[in-house]
Amino acid sequence: MTDALTNKIELEEPKKRFNFSRRKLALIGGILLFVVAFGIIFGLLPLLAIKSDVAQLSGEIKGISEGIQAQNLNQSIERLSSSKKGLNKLSSDYKKLVWLRPIPFIGGFYQDGQRLIKSGNYLLEAGEIAVEALKPYADILGFEGKEETKKPEEMTTEERLMLALDTLDKLQPSLDKIGEKLELARSEVVQINPNRYPEKLFGKKIRGNVVALVSIIDGTAKMATEIKPIVGYLKPLLGIPEEKRYLLLFQNDAELRPTGGFLTAYAILSVKNGNFKPLGSFDIYTLDARFGNRLKAPQPILDYHKNVFNWHLRDMNLSPDFQVSMNTFLENYGKVEDRKKIDAVIAIDTKVLVDLLKVLGPIGVAEWGRFSAEDDSRCDCPQVFYELERLADRPVGILKTERKAILGPLMHSILLNIMQSPRKRWPEFFNIAFTNIQEKHILFYFFDEEIQKAIEALNAGGRIKDYDGDYLHVNDCNFAGAKSNMYIQESFIQEIDIASDGTVTKTLTLDYKNPAPPSNCNLEAGELCLNGLYRDWVRIYVPKGSELIEANGSEIEVKTYEDLGKTVFEAFYGDQAPLRPLGKAQLKFKYKLPFKVEKGQQYKILIQKQPGTYGYENIIKLNGNQQTFELTTDRELKL
């Protein structure tokens, strides 16, 4: 009996263990099924919906942009409305992922998504305000709309301009509302930390796109703030009701100088009721001939400019701060001309002319010929550029003083063509003007302090700015290096090392490359010397109090001093080892910043672009992360 019972127990035990395992497996299976179901319902399905929402929203937003570019206001209005609906759907689907928010690390990405959606809403609201404000004036500003009672061809240039300015006055209250919405959008995206994102994921760039998105929204908000002050001064600037006279300087950016280019020519423009009239156009050498050799050249010219011993007006833009340079220029200009007859100095370079001619097409200038933005095989550059250089520098049987006087007639012809263009083209011209101002191809110095404040708020004054944080401005000066800047490519690499005690050490590498073949610089044979040996006076502006540790590549011992509230490292190359056509050059500076960065503290840097330059590549390396961008405008980064 006992043996039987024992055998029964032994036989039953395995069965009992089997039952326990089956229940455990069932439990695990149930949990896994729940997780999979949860993942599908609350993860996969919302993600698929979000992907679809984003694709549809991207198409609608692209439609808004296309409508603006085509100056089709009705299309933009329709796409704005559908974009708002699309963003609302995206927001609804995104909320299904709210369970991710409390999860460490992942929750940060969820919150970034929320911030982007909120920012998008504010941007669309700003767009709605803008199109509603534009509706009554769409036709006047060149957008599709109602017909005017007076046809464009029946309106004078002055009438058309006054109509546009009156319209802008009426739009000004809306600019405040738009600015408020853009600021709200900016306040959301600046909370996003791009460094939490990987450089790439599945081969696609991630961090760079996040940085670009944040930068665009931040820049748009700042742009709205910058534009507002100048709108109220547009009428006075265009000679309404009193005439204004401007000294127009042409800076040849192919021969780069501290404020954007060699001062080649100048003109006096009068504007009254929006009607521009050239009062004279002259070669800078004509002015210098009258000024004479009354001043000894400053030390940088004596040190770096070949066989130049006197300070000429054409070389007086030595400071990288446009206003400082122009004060020096005007002080001496006033010794040969009456500076009281001008209200401001406006400087432009070749990019402005090229951009305008791309829209206008070829234009003729009486006694000077035809000018266009078409490619010229003689220099692999725009035809207008080659013709200006040919007229200015190629030896011919007429006086040089007569050849550089083209600026006034050319600008007058361009302005006349702009004012007589169909209104549909006007937004293109506004865009060209604004872009070239932002990129420092147009600089202003007004003697009226209030107007100048508005100009500087627009970042159109070419000033070296004060900044609380890291700072960099690289300033190159071509001394007797032909027109090589037309071909030279430049890049900056900033490697930032933050020690455990917060000490910041930087290594700045400047790479110069000239990929073009040399020109025939035999001037006696009548050749045009564009690409030759490049001689470069280089100044690096960094935070005041920075200490140079070491430098390489300079032909002189690097000088350290203070200027414009910054510490400056001065270098030079070009006598012993110039940058040759098809050649390369490099400068390297290692220095310590005057402040420390605490652990977890955001790293701020302002990089100011030199006027007359064309988007040098910038690479910033910090804490194993890298950002790459083209420096087309001043750029503030928070890393």
Asked if residue 310 and residue 243 are part of one domain, the reply reads yes
Integer Cα distance of 364 and 372 in angstroms = 9
> How, if at all, do strands 375-376 and 547-552 pair?
unpaired
Asked if residue 196 and residue 142 are part of one domain, the reply reads yes
588 pLDDT higher than 50:
yes
Integer Cα distance of 209 and 536 in angstroms = 35
> What is the predicted pLDDT for the residue at 37?
55
Integer Cα distance of 572 and 566 in angstroms = 19
Q: Could you tell me if 483 and 389 are in contact, meaning their C-beta atoms sit under 8 angstroms apart?
A: yes
Out of 227, 245, 280, a domain closes at: 227
Integer Cα distance of 93 and 234 in angstroms = 46
Model pTM? 0.79
Asked if residue 302 and residue 181 are part of one domain, the reply reads no
Mean pLDDT of the chain: 82
Average pLDDT over residues 384-404: 63
The model's pLDDT over 445-466, given as tens digits with 9 standing for 90+, comes to 999 999 999 899 889 999 999 9
Domains held by the chain: number: 3
> For residue 617, is it within any domain?
yes
The model's pLDDT over 410-419, given as tens digits with 9 standing for 90+, comes to 887 888 888 7
Q: Could you tell me if 278 and 268 are in contact, meaning their C-beta atoms sit under 8 angstroms apart?
A: yes
Both tokens assigned to 411:
């600008």
The model's pLDDT over 470-496, given as tens digits with 9 standing for 90+, comes to 999 999 999 987 899 999 999 999 999
Handedness of CA 610, 614, 616, 617 (dihedral sign): positive
Q: Give the least confident one: 144-153, 233-242, 408-417, 502-511.
A: 144-153
> For residue 475, is it within any domain?
yes
Query: Domain limits at 448?
Result: 236-457
88 pLDDT higher than 60:
yes
> For residue 123, is it within any domain?
yes
> For residue 38, is it within any domain?
no
> What is the predicted pLDDT for the residue at 630?
92
pLDDT confidence of 197, banded at 50, 70, 90?
confident
> What is the predicted pLDDT for the residue at 345?
96
Asked if residue 480 and residue 625 are part of one domain, the reply reads yes
469 pLDDT higher than 80:
yes
625 compared with 454, residue with greater pLDDT: 454
Asked if residue 342 and residue 209 are part of one domain, the reply reads no
> For residue 502, is it within any domain?
yes
344 compared with 111, residue with greater pLDDT: 344
Asked if residue 240 and residue 223 are part of one domain, the reply reads no
Asked if residue 491 and residue 443 are part of one domain, the reply reads no
282 pLDDT higher than 80:
yes
Asked if residue 303 and residue 409 are part of one domain, the reply reads yes
Residue 446, domain CATH: 3.40.630
Kindly give, in sequence order, each residue whose CB lies less than 8 Å from that of residue 628, ignoring residues fewer than 6 positions away: 208, 617, 618, 619, 620
Asked if residue 524 and residue 593 are part of one domain, the reply reads yes
pLDDT confidence of 1, banded at 50, 70, 90?
very low
Asked if residue 444 and residue 400 are part of one domain, the reply reads yes
Integer Cα distance of 391 and 403 in angstroms = 5
Integer Cα distance of 548 and 554 in angstroms = 14
> For residue 121, is it within any domain?
yes
The model's pLDDT over 537-561, given as tens digits with 9 standing for 90+, comes to 999 999 999 999 999 999 999 999 9
Out of 227, 260, 284, a domain closes at: 227
Over its C-alpha atoms, the chain yields an Rg (Å, rounded) of: 31
Both tokens assigned to 22:
């089956």
Asked if residue 257 and residue 206 are part of one domain, the reply reads no
The model's pLDDT over 143-185, given as tens digits with 9 standing for 90+, comes to 654 444 445 455 565 666 676 777 677 677 777 788 788 888 8
DSSP string for 1-44: -HHHHHHHHHHHHHHHHHHHHHHHHHHHHHHHHHHHHHHIIIII
> What is the predicted pLDDT for the residue at 121?
83
The model's pLDDT over 374-383, given as tens digits with 9 standing for 90+, comes to 998 888 889 9
Integer Cα distance of 9 and 397 in angstroms = 124
Both tokens assigned to 97:
């992922």
584 compared with 61, residue with greater pLDDT: 584
Out of 429, 457, 485, a domain closes at: 457
Q: Give the least confident one: 31-45, 280-294, 380-394.
A: 31-45
Kindly give, in sequence order, each residue whose CB lies less than 8 Å from that of residue 329, ignoring residues fewer than 6 positions away: 263, 313, 316, 317, 345
Residue 474's CB is within 10 A of a number of other CB atoms, namely 24
Which residues pair with residue 592 across a beta bridge? 505, 547
> For residue 64, is it within any domain?
no
pLDDT confidence of 362, banded at 50, 70, 90?
very high
Q: Could you tell me if 441 and 613 are in contact, meaning their C-beta atoms sit under 8 angstroms apart?
A: no
> For residue 79, is it within any domain?
no
- The DSSP letter of residue 277 is E
- The DSSP letter of residue 350 is H
Asked if residue 498 and residue 479 are part of one domain, the reply reads yes
Instruction: Tell me the three-class secondary structure of 428-470, residue by residue.
Output: HHHHHHHHHHHCCCEEEEECCHHHHHHHHHCCCCCCCCCCCCE
The model's pLDDT over 9-22, given as tens digits with 9 standing for 90+, comes to 454 555 445 455 66
Task: Determine the straight-line distance between the first and last CA of the chain, rounded to whole angstroms.
Answer: 84
